[in-house]
C-alpha cells in the first residue's frame, strides 16, 4: 500500500483541537470537523504551499450533534447532517448556512 500511494502527514496548523469527528477528502480538498468545538477546517492538498482557508467557527452549528458530513465529488460543497437540521458550506465561503427543510 505504501508503494502504490504517496502518503503525506498533515495537521491543521491553526487548530488547537486536532481531535477530528468527521473527515472527507474529495478532489484533493480536505474537509474536517472537530469533535469538541465543532470547527470546520479545510485544506487544499494540491497546493499545500499556498494560503489555506481559515477554520470556520460558527455558533450556528455549536451543540447540534452533527452526525454526518457529506462532500460532493469536486470538493466544493459540504452538507452537515445534525439530528433534525441540515447545514451547508461552500469551499470559498467562511459562513455556515442552515437549510430550511420546511418550505
* pLDDT tens digits along 53-73: 889 999 999 988 899 999 999
20-99 to CATH, choices 1.10.3470, 2.60.40, 2.30.29, 2.20.25 = 2.20.25
DSSP assigned state of 69: E
Cell of 26: 474529495
On the question of pLDDT at 5 being above 80, the answer is no
At 2, the pLDDT band (50, 70, 90 cuts) reads low
At 49, the pLDDT band (50, 70, 90 cuts) reads confident
CB contact set of 23 (below 8 Å; sequence gap of 6+) = 30, 31, 32, 33
Residues 75, 31 contacting (CB under 8 angstroms): yes
Q: Where are the domains of the chain?
A: 20-99
| Rounded distance between C-alpha atoms, residue 36 and residue 33, angstroms | 9
| Res 1: pLDDT | 55
Amino acid at each position: 500500500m505504501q508503494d502504490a500511494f504517496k502518503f503525506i502527514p498533515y495537521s491543521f496548523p491553526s487548530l488547537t483541537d486536532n481531535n477530528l469527528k468527521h473527515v472527507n477528502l474529495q478532489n484533493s480538498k480536505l474537509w474536517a470537523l472537530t469533535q469538541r468545538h465543532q470547527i470546520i477546517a479545510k485544506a487544499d492538498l494540491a497546493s499545500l504551499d499556498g494560503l489555506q482557508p481559515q477554520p470556520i467557527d460558527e455558533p450556528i452549528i455549536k451543540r447540534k450533534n452533527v452526525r454526518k458530513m457529506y462532500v460532493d465529488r469536486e470538493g466544493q460543497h459540504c452538507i452537515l447532517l445534525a439530528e433534525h437540521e441540515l447545514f451547508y458550506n461552500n469551499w470559498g465561503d467562511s459562513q455556515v448556512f442552515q437549510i430550511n427543510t420546511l418550505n
